[in-house]
Amino acid sequence: MKSILFITPYPKDVAPSQRFRFEQYLELLEQNDYKIEERSFWSEKGWTLLYEKGNLFAKIATFISGVFRRVALLFSIHGFQYVFIHREALPVGPPLIEFIIAKILKKKIIYDFDDAIWLPNTSSQNSLAKGLKFHGKVRHICRWAWKVSCGNLFLADFARQYNPNVCIMPTTIDTSYHLPAKKNTKNTQISIGWTGTHSTTKYLSTMVPLFQKLQEKFSINIIIISNQKPDWDFEAYEFIKWQKEKEIEQLNKIDIGIMPLEDTSWEKGKCGFKALQYMALGIPAVVSNVGVNKAIINHGVDGYLCDSLSEWEQHLSELISDVSLRKSIGDQGRQKVIEFYSVSANETRFLSLFE
């Protein structure tokens, strides 16, 4: 039986990048006679501490524990034919673990990443780690890998500088799990919503004046679904604390989904996950005209691309005012995901990473 060891930063079933890039394919691998094990750096307790403020000594303790687990892993890796590494084996320092796996243990590495992780981008909650990061490790791991799996063309172009065997594996949605709710078309209050972690709420700050302007013109509700409440002066919104068990129910409260971004190299590495989630649920997506969003959305057909606040206002106003337009854009968006960005549409591509 063929065997794969998945080396991941986070515990199973908690991090979107892991859940929607490869964890939803694990059953498929097992059905194709692969033996699978997943080993995370952070324990479940460590994961809960990671993005909290403070708790320095607890973070250090769980970090040391993760390092010991990584060293111990090297002594049990001989039985695996493939090693799938998501992002990095260690969150700081040079790629020593990857070097040993590739060059000393001679294992076939499939290296997967879905952000421009060769660029500095450390959260404020973990600024201490900033000086310990070794962003240059990405190009080395690409060189040592048997294959590289990237979430979009921008990331793939970077990887191809160091490895010719690069596959663009989009972040995908299980459309049998992401099922649209039936909308009450007689509802006079429309909800504009956003979902994401606290580290990405910064993109919403520039939208606050527009939220206020739209609330003066229309009867609308602003919904923010996140792990932490935004630190804003603006309070005219509904905060919903994200829960995995209720994530589809929470998202279906949204009538129009938004994904504002800055236009930098870091954002060009993003894989459009928010937009894909909205679209899979039949929620019309209005997004920044940045990076992979341009490839995902056919403007005016299955979503809207915006370059300025005036365009955001125009397209949001159109959708707020027209229920049939919301349904048309939402239906087309879901069909786009089913055809190109669903798990079922990408099963063969994922399996090819191990062939």
Q: Which two tokens stand for residue 269?
A: 């590495």
Q: Do residues 338 and 13 touch, judged by C-beta distance below 8 A?
A: no
Task: Please tell me what DSSP assigns to residue 39.
Answer: E
Q: Which helix (H) or strand (E) holds 222?
A: strand 220-226
Nearest to 345 by CA among 151, 156, 179, 170: 170
* CATH superfamily for domain 190-341: Glycogen Phosphorylase B; (3.40.50.2000)
pLDDT of residue 146: 98
Q: Do residues 125 and 52 touch, judged by C-beta distance below 8 A?
A: yes
Rounded-to-integer distance, Cα 257 and Cα 196, Å: 12
Q: Do residues 337 and 276 touch, judged by C-beta distance below 8 A?
A: yes
pLDDT of residue 158: 98
Is the pLDDT confidence value at 187 over 90?
no
Is the pLDDT confidence value at 123 over 60?
no
b or e along 200-221 (b: 16 or more beta carbons within 10 Å of the residue's beta carbon)?
bbebbeebbebbeebeeeeebb
pLDDT in tens, 69-90: 999 999 999 999 999 999 999 9
CATH number of this structure's domain 2-169: 3.40.50
Rounded-to-integer distance, Cα 213 and Cα 207, Å: 10
Q: Do residues 242 and 92 touch, judged by C-beta distance below 8 A?
A: no
Domain limits of the chain? Answer: 2-169, 190-341
pLDDT of residue 219: 92
Nearest to 101 by CA among 86, 116, 89: 89
Is the pLDDT confidence value at 35 over 60?
yes
Is the pLDDT confidence value at 345 over 70?
yes
Q: Do domains 2-169 and 190-341 have the same CATH topology?
A: yes
Q: Is the full-model pTM beyond 0.75?
A: yes
pLDDT of residue 128: 53
Q: Which two tokens stand for residue 139?
A: 């190009």
Rounded-to-integer distance, Cα 52 and Cα 307, Å: 34
The pLDDT mean for the chain works out to 93
More confident residue, 116 or 49: 116
pLDDT of residue 261: 96
Rg (CA), the chain: 21
